[in-house]
A and B are shown apart, each in its own frame.
Chain A
Amino acid sequence: MIELDTMDRRILRAMARDATQSASALGRVLGVSQSAVWRRIKRLHENGIIRGQRLDLDAERLGFGVTVFLGVKLATKGRVSLDDFERAVSAIPEVQTVEHILGLYDYRLRVVARDIPDFERVLRRRIMMLPGVGDVEANVLLSEERRPGPIG
């Protein structure tokens, strides 16, 4: 595990808010040189602390009015390979995320659709057709917020 100092944390927080800020702009705000900021950002990448960037789009404005989280239980464990299920589910374009979990369900899927009839189509024709799918629980997303988390 890598120990971050206060400046690293401030840079990480700023990048999590807006990763398009330039090192010089960030340096001005934080009161350090552009090269110092650049070096630290490079280290955050090299150490795997920043694992990429995510574009946050307004799904509704782009015609995707419905986001549903599905809890999926596999019906025939042992007979269907998890790899096959994971490959097939990941290939569905409306499925945005696939997480393997322990507990009530085996997988959690984040699914986007244009509206409820479109969601029904994805559920019936795509999800329910996947190899090994058993119980499915759906929860429609109403609101979502990402928190800064324990950067310190």
Chain B
Amino acid sequence: MLDDTDKRILRHYQHNPTTGFAELAERAGVTAATCTRRIEKMRQEGVIRGNHAVINWRALGREVEVSLRITLDKTQPRAFDEFLAAAREVPDVVEIQTFLGRVDVRLSVIARDMAHYQQVYRTAVLTLPHIADIEALMHVARIKSDEVLPL
């Protein structure tokens, strides 16, 4: 399992994912060799699943972001699987989450403008299978987005 050294490395790495291992080692107070070895081990064990570039969709002309909260028709036994498989085929969907609660699924959809959103909504979203109810929330601003775990 993870010890305090692993957690200390992760704490710094999370806050600075672009940092090289040498600098990270210095910040975490370990040798570069230890730092590299520990990170490699955590990668292999699946604790670190990846380090991804974050795309700013606005800079690519996608100004509109909408959260679609969807309730599925659960009388259909394969509703979840079929809905998710179809949603994966929509390129404008950047996030798919499933929930236990009032909502079954949330899709994050990005569009160039409201007219384009309308088009995506009508042609690609409303045609997804087994939707019982759908609710849209418009994204205004991201206040905090680092997704750091409180280790």
A67: nearest chain-B partner, CB-CB? B97
Contacts of B92 in A (CB 8 A): 149-150
The answer to whether A17 and B52 touch across the interface, beta carbons within 8 angstroms, is yes
The answer to whether A57 and B49 touch across the interface, beta carbons within 8 angstroms, is yes
Total A-B pairs, Cβ < 8 A? 195
The answer to whether B46 and A61 touch across the interface, beta carbons within 8 angstroms, is yes
Known: A49-B56, A149-B94. 19 other contacts (CB 8 A): A18-B51, A19-B52, A19-B53, A48-B56, A52-B18, A54-B54, A54-B147, A55-B51, A62-B10, A97-B145, A97-B146, A101-B140, A102-B139, A112-B149, A139-B102, A139-B106, A140-B99, A145-B88, A147-B93
Q: Which of B14, B55, B88, B91 contacts A57 (CB 8 A)?
A: B14
Interchain residue pairs with CB less than 8 A apart (12): A18-B51, A48-B56, A50-B56, A53-B54, A54-B51, A93-B150, A96-B148, A97-B147, A99-B145, A101-B137, A141-B98, A144-B95
- Bound-complex Cα distance A99 to B18 (A): 24
Check: B135 CB closer than 8 A to any chain A CB.
Answer: yes
The answer to whether B151 and A105 touch across the interface, beta carbons within 8 angstroms, is no
Check: A29 CB closer than 8 A to any chain B CB.
Answer: no
Stretch at the interface among B29-37, B58-66, B125-133: B58-66
Interchain nearest-CB distance for A85 vs B (Å): 9
The answer to whether A144 and B49 touch across the interface, beta carbons within 8 angstroms, is no
Check: B22 CB closer than 8 A to any chain A CB.
Answer: no
Contacts of B53 in A (CB 8 A): 12, 15-16, 19, 50, 52-53
Number of interface residues of A (CB under 8 A): 61
Q: Would A54 and B17 be within 8 Å (CB), given that A2-B60, A49-B56 are in contact?
A: yes
Interchain nearest-CB distance for B151 vs A (Å): 7
Interchain nearest-CB distance for B16 vs A (Å): 9
Which residues between 1 and 53 of chain A lie within 8 Å of chain B, taking CB atoms?
A: 1-2, 4, 12, 15-20, 47-53
The answer to whether B137 and A103 touch across the interface, beta carbons within 8 angstroms, is yes
Central interface residue in A57, A86, A89, A142, by most chain B CB within 10 Å: A57
